[in-house]
Structure 1
């Protein structure tokens, strides 16, 4: 309830009771919210290609003919033999991230009542306490988080074939006259054959989250009529009970003398603040919280 909505007189008052308008502070509650620090991505692992060794016969000397009268002449030449075919290899292109800052709301802005600076702001001598409504700005917290720019990918790179150079004899000049067949000659070499191509294996990487506490206002503060102690219903015995209860709560260090002095009222205000009670006067609500009965 705002100050404009407070009735001019306390409702339902009974003879012998005293009331005053008290500022009741706003109510808050803390909520936890999850904030993404690092976006989810994907882990990529390349399973290499599989090969096997096989034997292959390579011609090193061609079939020839022997001439008895004029023998054939030969020459040696080199030949490239493929021992491993060209293959495709997958490579990982890692994901790209960027460090960004993000402002997170910790506490919403709100308005609160505060007392005026003094009698300069009074209209005349009959004006009571001056209350000013001020605005408290919202509070923010800056956090660092990693933002995914480009996910991890793969690219295909071609590895060239491998060769082996072998020498072989070839006929330079055929024999003449009588011809005798000379069979070809071969050599056995080991080569690698592709059995299974390289392939990627992917696994998802979950996003990283952090919990941030936010203080949210659930009820505004304002002025309300509250029953209090006054000269009509206050006795030294009641004040002594109040002092004893405050001493038990650990907020009063004075003597229990039944006198409502500045030290006793300061202890009352500290107790009201610790229990989030309406403050400024010795309310019946405060007596109930202290366990003091009239």
Structure 2
């Protein structure tokens, strides 16, 4: 119930203020039109008043803050003034490119030099020379008859050897045949051994070979020789530029309140001024800059090589050797070969322990014969036949040749971009009307003015004499304090300034 009553009281209070304002407007209109002939109010005036009251009590369309006819959220005992707040701008500096970065190309030409170059006229080759074999003689002892150590039936030449059976029987009967010395004899029955004549082939000249030389073959041919190497030449193609015009915003479109008259009007009840909202169009700047259309480049031109024909001697086939074999030579030497053993029956001839009657009539004798050799002289190869390769050096000719020392090069030099600084103002906040709580005759007492002057002086601002009157020096100190503290600056003593000074608004 309490909340509803307060709300209804607030609504009724606002309606009463709106009615009073409407009546004031009506009275002002009647005075201008010369409609104040008598002290009473006519029926037409009553009708107009009733119309204004009805319009004021009719719900209004939603408006922006500061554009209401009456202050919003007003408190009893406070005064308000609607003031114009100028638009604020910020100055910005932009750097714009007026010419793009590019590059310039310098061509460094190729460097050449004439040098002596040796070319081959006749190829290197070789030829073969025969080296005959070197022969020598050497004497060799050839075994004609092998050395023998055997048991024979007699010491006479041609005596038959003793058989193993007889030797075993003699060994069995206590004769130490191993300890017998050469020349010892035993009685034995002897069947002589058989021999035959042999022929042995002895090499007197070893196999060798004969070498024939086939000389190398040549021919004269025409050969293409490089005199000047192929090269290249670099040509600079300069960059192509074009001029481009660009339009940029210098000051954006905005709206401002200006004093004047017109179909759309805002009436400041505190000052009685008529304010109009005016659209200010955007302004533009035109800048011109030079840009690269085609970058600088280079073109390479090929320079062909130069050749010259020369006659040279060319090897067709190498020298060759043909080897013919020479067979070895041999000589026949006669020899004697044992072909059959004799049959032996033995008895030791010096053994006197036995009578002669027990002898078998055979005897064996240990005979040793040295080997027989024959010296044979033969021809031998000390160094075999061979060939020697004789190198035939190549023949050369010196000619002048143009050689490339340094290839053509390109040197790119950077051209920096060009820029220009453009300054423009940008709207930070549009101008607007706003209601500010101020001191007026209702709440502006001498005591409060004195408190304000003392607070200004304490804060370091000179308000003039502290006399409780608002003069030019007091308002100058108030405005200086407002600017220093970032408070709204106007020609009123607003409540925000009082709070900053620490002065009570009640």
With normalisation by structure 1, the TM-score equals: 0.58
Please show how residues 4-83 of structure 1 align to structure 2 within 5 Å. Answer: 6-29=67-90, 33-55=94-116
- Kindly indicate whether residue 469 of structure 2 is the aligned counterpart of residue 259 of structure 1: yes
Q: What residue in structure 2 maps to residue 149 of structure 1?
A: 293
- Kindly indicate whether residue 405 of structure 2 is the aligned counterpart of residue 198 of structure 1: no
Q: What residue in structure 1 maps to residue 445 of structure 2?
A: 235
* Structure 1 residue ranges without an equivalent (≥5): 59-81, 163-186
274, 285, 292: which is aligned to 2:496?
285
> In the alignment, is the contact (CA less than 8 A) between 1:18 and 1:227 conserved in 2?
yes
Is the alpha carbon distance of 1:244 and 1:188 closer, same or farther for their aligned partners in structure 2, counting shifts above 3 Å?
farther
The structure with the larger Rg is 2
* Structure 2 residue ranges without an equivalent (≥5): 1-61, 120-225, 307-396
Is the alpha carbon distance of 1:25 and 1:126 closer, same or farther for their aligned partners in structure 2, counting shifts above 3 Å?
closer
Is the alpha carbon distance of 1:27 and 1:126 closer, same or farther for their aligned partners in structure 2, counting shifts above 3 Å?
closer
Q: What residue in structure 2 maps to residue 91 of structure 1?
A: 235
In the alignment, the residues of structure 2 paired with residue 253 and residue 85 of structure 1 have an alpha-carbon distance, to the nearest angstrom, of 99
In the alignment, the residues of structure 2 paired with residue 18 and residue 126 of structure 1 have an alpha-carbon distance, to the nearest angstrom, of 10
> In the alignment, is the contact (CA less than 8 A) between 2:105 and 2:296 conserved in 1?
yes
Q: What residue in structure 1 maps to residue 248 of structure 2?
A: 104
In the alignment, the residues of structure 1 paired with residue 239 and residue 479 of structure 2 have an alpha-carbon distance, to the nearest angstrom, of 59
Q: What residue in structure 2 maps to residue 222 of structure 1?
A: 432
1:285 aligns to what SS in structure 2?
helix
Q: What residue in structure 2 maps to residue 172 of structure 1?
A: none
In the alignment, the residues of structure 2 paired with residue 227 and residue 36 of structure 1 have an alpha-carbon distance, to the nearest angstrom, of 50
With normalisation by structure 2, the TM-score equals: 0.37
Is the alpha carbon distance of 1:12 and 1:126 closer, same or farther for their aligned partners in structure 2, counting shifts above 3 Å?
closer
In the alignment, the residues of structure 1 paired with residue 71 and residue 91 of structure 2 have an alpha-carbon distance, to the nearest angstrom, of 33
Is the alpha carbon distance of 1:116 and 1:9 closer, same or farther for their aligned partners in structure 2, counting shifts above 3 Å?
same
Q: What residue in structure 1 maps to residue 363 of structure 2?
A: none
Q: CA RMSD in A?
A: 4.8
Q: Deviations over 1:246-273 (max 9, x none)?
A: 7899997865544323565466567767
Residue 142 of structure 1: how far off its partner (Å): 5.1
In the alignment, the residues of structure 1 paired with residue 287 and residue 487 of structure 2 have an alpha-carbon distance, to the nearest angstrom, of 31
Larger helix proportion, structure 1 or 2? 2
